[in-house]
Amino acid sequence: MKLITAIIKPFKLDDVKAALEAFGVTGMTVSEASGYGRQRGHTEVYRGAEYEVDLVPKIRIDVLTDDADAEDVIDVIVKAAQTGKIGDGKVWSVPVDTVVRVRTGERGVAAL
Amino acid sequence: MDPTTHVNWGNTAWMLTATALVLLMTPGLAFFYGGMVRAKNVLAMLMQNFICMGIVSVLWVIDLFSIAFGPDTLGGFIGDAARYFGLHHGADLWSTGNGVPTTIIAAFQITFAIITAALITGAVADRLKFAPFIVFVTAWSILVYAPIAHWVWGGGWLAQHSVEDFAGGTVVHINAGAAGVALTLVLGRRIGWPNERMRPHNVPFVLLGAGLLWFGWLGFNAGSELAADQVAGYALVNTIVATAAAMLGWLVVERIRDGHPTTLGAASGLVAGLVAITPACAFVSPLGAIVVGAAAGVLCALAVSLKFKARIDDSLDVFAVHLIGGVVGALSIGFLGDSAINSAGHDGLFYGGGFLQLGRQAMGVFSVLAYDFVVTFLIAKAIDKVMGLRVSRDVELEGLDINLHAESAYDFGAPATHATTPVVAAARTKVDA
């Protein structure tokens, strides 16, 4: 099993969610995140005083999949989240040892 | 005395209304300021403004009205403190020359005393202790606000020298601005200022507050005529158009200097315009008001950078907006005063009056500024010595709201909501038992 984490632009959440649902992903966890990559932050101006805002708002999506679907899910997310502009985000996956469904106690792929 | 023969119903109805309008300005100011501070200090900022409504109202009714507006004593320095003590003088309180009961004038003036004290808080945001601030507001209202109100409006020495201030350029704005700077010098800079970024946490609050201020300010300026008449009409239209021109002026500066016109700039510019037209609103023509407003918008927008050069942490720009705006407005009467608008006023330099009125206005500005700055500084130093005016480093870093008031402004997170359950349950159990 794999845990796929995607950091995307907030306004791309609906597109990514719809694409994952169309692909057959049945659940995900979405959280608000802040961060920066190569684009760094942005500049804001209040009464003439400039502020470098380093951390920009992002959305973090976590999806658990079986090993076979992992690469396809990553592709689906990247395709849906892409604008081609700097700051589009990143997607990565890590191996997962154990998954348990709290309601039933099912373990492993059956719990996905 | 039969009140029905002395009361002018139209004037009285307008002053009742104007009092309510001006009272709303302080909650408006609270949001104007509250939006500009960081989220951890917004309740403390709101509270500093609201507590002025608490303290000053009580002081005013007990005796401050009498000190400010009682018959002249001490050579024009203060009014007779015995005349209106407790606002309980029977027939004395029935009516003024305009046929408005004196109780209503006293109530109208409460709202001015409140907002002047509240305006000071913007200069020292994020670092004031609560109880010492209450002591400060009390001492300041008695020793600074009431005497200066008497000098200018109560028939005191500046009024006797024909210094004109229709609704509070000197009494309210220069007064609050100079006090804010003095208090900032006593308190010192916030930890991290100016290197750490301290962005406004809620700009929509700032615009909401600015809108409420503009609304209430129509009562502030047009109400200061104390009558529903032609002069009140000029005050009203000038308060609208000068404010509009100041907003435009500030935004033009931002567009040229910073690249973008900002919403915070629009709010700041309109407040600068309100400040500047306040002393002049019933002495200049509507076209003159546009000039006053535009000048204030541009000059106040340029003045916000001075605090960085002087390294004085006037946190929310009380100096740039209120002191500079107040000076622009007070002096503008010396240039643009037009006795055709108001027979009680004098012609300024551009209307054939020469330098006479300009000189009087400058004397008014300087006297208020100097007295206020020195006395405020001494009051603040004394309170700081005895009680400490500034919160501890830990409190400042963690935030004033949780430490001074045991509250937090925003509860958007589910974990925070659920984590409060045991304490609430325990408190309820006690009440039920």
pLDDT of residue B433: 42
Gap between the Cα atoms of B100 and B65, Å rounded = 16
Instruction: Name chain A contacts of B257, Cβ cutoff 8 Å.
Output: 48
Q: Which residue of A lies nearest to B36 if distances are taken between CA atoms?
A: A46
- CATH classification of the domain holding B133: 1.10.3430.10
Listed range (A20-34, A40-54, B112-126, B279-293) with the worst mean pLDDT:
A40-54
Selected for mutation to probe chain A from B258, B263, B304, B316 (highest A CB count within 10 Å) is B258
In a domain, B366, yes or no: yes
Query: Has residue B400 been placed in a domain?
Result: no
User: What pLDDT does residue B36 have?
Assistant: 97
pLDDT at B235: 97
Residues sharing a CB contact under 8 Å with residue A43, sequence separation 6 or more, in sequence order: A50, A51, A52, A53
Confidence of residue A42 (pLDDT cuts 50, 70, 90): confident
Q: Does B255 touch chain A (CB under 8 A)?
A: no
Torsion of CA B386, B392, B395, B398, to 10 degrees: 160
- Whether B151 and B77 have beta carbons less than 8 Å apart is answered as yes
pLDDT at residue B143 above 80?
Answer: yes
pLDDT the model gives residue B429? 52
In a domain, B91, yes or no: yes
Q: What's the pLDDT at A51?
A: 84
Does B207 lie at the interface with A, CB-CB under 8 angstroms?
no
- What average pLDDT does this structure show over B257-267? 95
Q: Return mean pLDDT, chain B.
A: 91
| A51/B304 touch (CB, cutoff 8 Å), yes or no | no
User: Between A47, A48, A51, which is nearest B197 by CB?
Assistant: A51
User: Is residue B270 one of the residues assigned to a domain?
Assistant: yes
* Interface membership of B77 toward A (CB under 8 Å): no
Biggest alpha carbon–alpha carbon distance for chain B? 79
How far apart are alpha carbons B270 and B243 in whole angstroms? 5
So what's the pLDDT on residue B421? 44
B21 pLDDT tier (thresholds 50, 70, 90): very high
Q: Return the structure tokens found at B21.
A: 């309008």
3-state secondary structure of A90: strand
**A48 vs B199, B200, B258: nearest CB:** B258
Per-residue DSSP letter, A95: E
- Render pLDDT for B170-197 as a digit per residue (tens, 0 to 9): 999 999 999 999 999 999 999 998 888 7
Q: How far is B83 from chain A (nearest CA, A)?
A: 46
- pLDDT confidence of residue B343: 85
Give the closest residue to B170 by CA, choosing from B360, B375, B374, B379.
Answer: B360
pLDDT in tens, A71-100: 999 999 999 999 998 889 999 999 999 999
Instruction: Return the pLDDT at B419.
Output: 45
A44–B199 C-beta distance less than 8 A: yes
Contact of B268 with chain A, judged by CB distance below 8 Å, is answered with yes
Containing structural domain, residue B143: 3-395
- Domain residue spans of chain A: 2-111
Q: Determine the pLDDT at residue B90.
A: 64
More confident residue, A40 or B37: B37
Residue B333: closest CA among B309, B362, B290: B362
Q: Which residue of B has its CA nearest to A49?
A: B305
Short-list B220, B353, B340, CA closest to B285: B340
Backbone angles phi and psi of B294, in degrees to 5: -60, -40
Does B416 score more than 80 pLDDT? no
A50 interaction partners in chain B (CB closer than 8 Å): 258
Q: What average pLDDT score do residues B230-234 get?
A: 95
Pick the closest to residue B127 from B198, B44, B33, B202 (CA basis): B44
pLDDT tens track for B79-109: 999 888 998 866 566 666 788 988 999 999 9
d(CA B303, CA B307): 8
The pLDDT score that the predictor gives to residue A55 is 86
**CB-CB: which of A44, A48, A53 is closest to B257?**
A48
CB B132 within 8 A of CB B187: no
Residue B362, amino acid: A
Chain-chain contact of B305 with A48 (C-beta, under 8 angstroms): yes
How many independent structural domains does chain B possess? Answer: 1
Query: What percentage of residues in chain B have a pLDDT greater than 90?
Result: 79
Q: What is the pLDDT of residue B427?
A: 52
In terms of pLDDT, which residue wins out, B348 or B426?
A: B348
Which candidate from B194, B259, B264 shows the least CB-CB separation from A46?
A: B264
**Helices B263-280 and B230-257 meet at what angle, rounded to 10?**
140
Q: What is the pLDDT of residues B45-82, one digit of tens each?
A: 999 999 999 999 999 999 999 999 999 998 889 999 98
- Mean pLDDT of all residues belonging to chain A: 93
- CATH number for the region A2-111 comes to 3.30.70.120
Contacts of A53 in chain B (CB under 8 A): 197, 199
Neighbours of B139 (CB within 10 A): 17
Convert B398-430 to b/e letters by CB count within 10 Å (16 or more is b). Answer: ebbbbbbeeeebeeeeeeeeeeeeeeeeeeeee
Higher pLDDT, B373 or B416: B373
* pTM of the predicted protein model: 0.88
> Does residue B418 surpass a pLDDT of 50?
no
Contact: A45, B308; criterion CB under 8 Å: no
Contacts of A16 (CB under 8 A, 6+ apart): A6, A8, A61, A77, A80, A81
Residue B254: pLDDT band with limits 50, 70, 90? very high
